[in-house]
Structure 1
Amino acid sequence: MELLGSIQSTVLTRHQKAEVMIAGEQLRLRLHDSKLIKDRRHHLRTYPNCFVAQEVIDWLIAHKEVPDREIAVQLMQHLMDCDIIHHVCDKWPVFKDAKYLYRFRKDDGTFPFNLEVKIFMRGQRLYEHLITCKDSILQERQEKGVAYERSFPGYMLIDWLLQNGEIESRRQGLDLCKALLEHDIIQHVSQKHHFFDGGLLYQFCINFRRRRRLSELLHETESEEQECTTQLNQDDQADSPFTLRKTPPSEGNSNFSSVQSTKDLNVPTNGRCGSLDHQRHGSSGYPITASLSSAYTVQCNPISVLKRNVTCEELLSPGAPYVKRVLTILGDALGWGFVVRGKSPCYVQAVDPGGPAAAAGVKVRQFVRRVNGCNGLHLDYRALSKLVMTGPRVVTLEVMEPLTN
């Protein structure tokens, strides 16, 4: 199965992409204000809205955005790799500290406006309008006795969109708001519901106005890439990619010894349990689902957590009681912290309550639809595991979650 992009390249999560786009736009506006972006003439040709690399590097250092020229070059290269800026002739894929002319793609209309970017920019524009308009709907409100700042009821946002000509019908507004939620622009205040044209409260997930420090953005991305490489260099991974410990236990001391399916095995451990690399398989062919926390009981070949069997066709049928969610899991030193089971579709069998998956919103009984942009709905757990293991440390899951009553 073809993966999106090279494994060795830097793979950005949706959150990281958003941060890069916001930081790049803030830099573009500041450079315009400083008159560093302007029409420039070179070799008898005029290039509109461009800047000189050396001048911008001097500016970044003078404004203490970066400590030295080397970091400044790395930062601008990162913006090039993310299609924020480019050489005026698109000749040089490498940013150089020289008197070369570069341009922001937003200034010359070459920015790649795919669906994700369009939704992001629509959300940013709506946020700016809502935060500055008189009598804004973003106010402190309560839901179930808890106060939430800058929140709004779903129906009120659709009313506002209609009044301001952003949409033509309530149905169109509902589709827009669902897309904003699925792309992590807005969310239910307790993250328990999809978007409904009703009284449930929602908030924006991103503070578009927060000032981003460019050097911190670069440092975060480099750290992600380094840890991703470490993860990919591991050999002999087991069928399940959701390992909870990178260092395998010593031989003969595995926490996942095979026992009868009707018996429980209490495992005294410190923190999260050992690696699924050394689990064995029961007669059903599924991996033994082990305890994900020291407070849990290890049970071999546990009964499925599903209340009934669900088909792929049912998940995708119109009106089905499932909501699509896009979750980004930033693995830690121990792994991701969840276990999948099943065959077309796969589902989440267990989640470590203290792990990265739980923090990202992964829940038991969610069905895995896509992994890092690749279709995983018709895969069994082995193929799905392989798809995850060949990807980065940061895993983006698209899941189908049963609607809560």
Structure 2
Amino acid sequence: MELLSASLEKKAEKFQKEIEVSLAGEQLRLRLHNAKQIRNRINNMFTYPSSFTAKDVVTWLIDYKEAPDRETAVNIMQKFMEHNIIHHVCDQHSTFKDSKLLYRFRNDDGTLSPTTETRLMTRSKRIYEMMTSQEDSILKVREEGSKRYRRTFLGSQMLDWLIKHALVTGRLEGETLCRGMLEQGIIQPVNGHYHFSDSNRVYQFCINFRRRRKLIEVLNESNPWLEPMQESPDSPFCLRKLGAELPQGSFVCAGDPKPEPPPLPKRPSTMGSEFGYSLYSPPKPVASLPSVLKKPVTLEELLAPGAPYIKKTLSINGDAVGWGFIVRGTGPCHIQAVDPTGPAAAAGVKIRQFILSVNEIDCLDLEYRAIYNHIVAGPRKLILEVLEPID
């Protein structure tokens, strides 16, 4: 079994960081388009398509809690400039300035030259999206030693899957592709310093392409490659669309609504936990925030004869980002927030509904982490039984 050299691991760490910055930049671009911050602008009689004003975006980053102050916001945007993700519309400035200067994303004006690395990242992203969208995905939670790892697969299993879906012509081509993914830090062995091989060795996607990035992460230079990446239990869900801007919330990253009407979180989350995202460090608890429930409700009250609740069965087809709702509680659990543009809202999920079952698994007396485990273990199509209060 070929071992990875220290230099190869160092290169993988560098590539991994670049990919994360690239993904964060693309998510920001979509969000700014949705917020109408990116549009055709006129300056000195010239029209600059798909451009944005630096000063306005700095304010936007602060308003949406992506940066605590203007200096940090500028540093975030400067990082995107250094990674060739944005540039001044006339390329007259090599730095990002908190002014009325116009900038553009290279993905918007066609000046981003694809490289071998970016093509491999795009291909890897497609593979990841295909795998995570399947009901019987080969990506599993597996134990190695005393640790549990997410998004894992066997080397031979990956090659079988690539051939089955006609993404490679044979095992040799598939192995070459996976070795390239490993050398870019997209996948990694969960135990040891081994290269990819057509074997029963366990590997994992160490980049979660669906996770919505917290932009301040791009300023964090640390990136301990080959360590199991720790995520909040919220990560697969997200309060949905990358381009859907939601009113300000109160969590550090995961947000939380007020009782009436509930504004939705800025950061992605769907398990209503009190954890935020952190790519390079474990999730940290933040202060508890008020529940949307008008008063605490016990299990006995819910199940009492004549209780003012109606039972509903809802079918939610998750999209590429998640299902679009937040759950909170220790049993019974309730819907804490719903993205109005997400799949959950379209299916009839509402705040204050109590969760009876997930995919026919009784969840009434479970806390939100256990419900999370049932959801991520199931198919993309989610069958949710709820008790809805009768107003």
- TM-score by length of structure 1 reads 0.47
Greater Rg by CA = 1
- TM-score by length of structure 2 reads 0.49
